[in-house]
Amino acid sequence: MTLPLPLLAPCCPPRNPKRLRRQALLAWLAACLAWPAGAVLAAGPTTIGTVDTAFKLIGRDHDIIVEAYDDPAVQGVTCYVSRARTGGIKGSLGLAEDRSEASISCHQVGPVQFAQPLRQQEQVFSERTSLVFKRLRVVRMVDAPRNTLVYLTYSDRLIDGSPQNSVAAVPVERATPIPLKQ
């Protein structure tokens, strides 16, 4: 026994391709604006503190923020990053571009353990420092001969990054060799 197939009728008129592109662009822009200014890919930062550097009548003051990031792949290592944060109206709305200067200090805060082998070089943190085009990045490198984890922080842009950077090293006990991916 076969059942009759229903007649297929269009439920809506054909779509205009220009209108679809415009809607997709507007949806992308809305998602970018809704994304928090301090979004991080790997693990969220813990704010340790801030100090004001310049008073702003409207909006938050310009400041330096110090945040702690736990390395998601290395238990027992925390990186402290200090960076300038722009205030004022644009800064409060997440529209300002923060300066490229940042400083990093990474330390062993407990027994170092590795959940899995590490890559020789890998980005471990990334945080947006402007509306769309600029990011603060932290990259972990493994210095295998010295059994040391090296962390580098820098800022990049879509077109032109900044050469300003800061580096920190965390030596790991020889009894705990750093496992590397082959």
Percent of the chain with pLDDT over 70: 58
Q: Show the beta-strand stretches assigned E in 34-89.
A: 46-54, 62-70, 74-85
Residue keyed to tokens 């702690």: 68
Residues 6+ apart with CB under 8 A from 10: none
Distance (Å, whole) CA 112 – CA 42: 18
pLDDT at 4: 52
Q: Model-level pTM?
A: 0.67
pLDDT at 119: 96
Residues 6+ apart with CB under 8 A from 48: 66, 67, 68, 80
pLDDT at 63: 79
Please tell me which of 45-54, 98-107, 115-124, 160-169 the model is most confident about, judged by mean pLDDT: 115-124
Q: Which two tokens stand for residue 79?
A: 């990186």
Please check whether residue 67 is in contact with residue 110, taking contact to mean a CB–CB distance below 8 angstroms: no
Half-sphere exposure at residue 175, Cβ-oriented, CA atoms within 13 angstroms: 2
pLDDT at 137: 87
pLDDT at 50: 86
Residues 87-103 have pLDDT tens digits of 666 655 565 655 667 88
Residues 124-146 have pLDDT tens digits of 998 776 656 678 889 999 999 99
Distance (Å, whole) CA 76 – CA 36: 27
**pLDDT at 1 > cutoff 70:** no
Please check whether residue 117 is in contact with residue 178, taking contact to mean a CB–CB distance below 8 angstroms: no
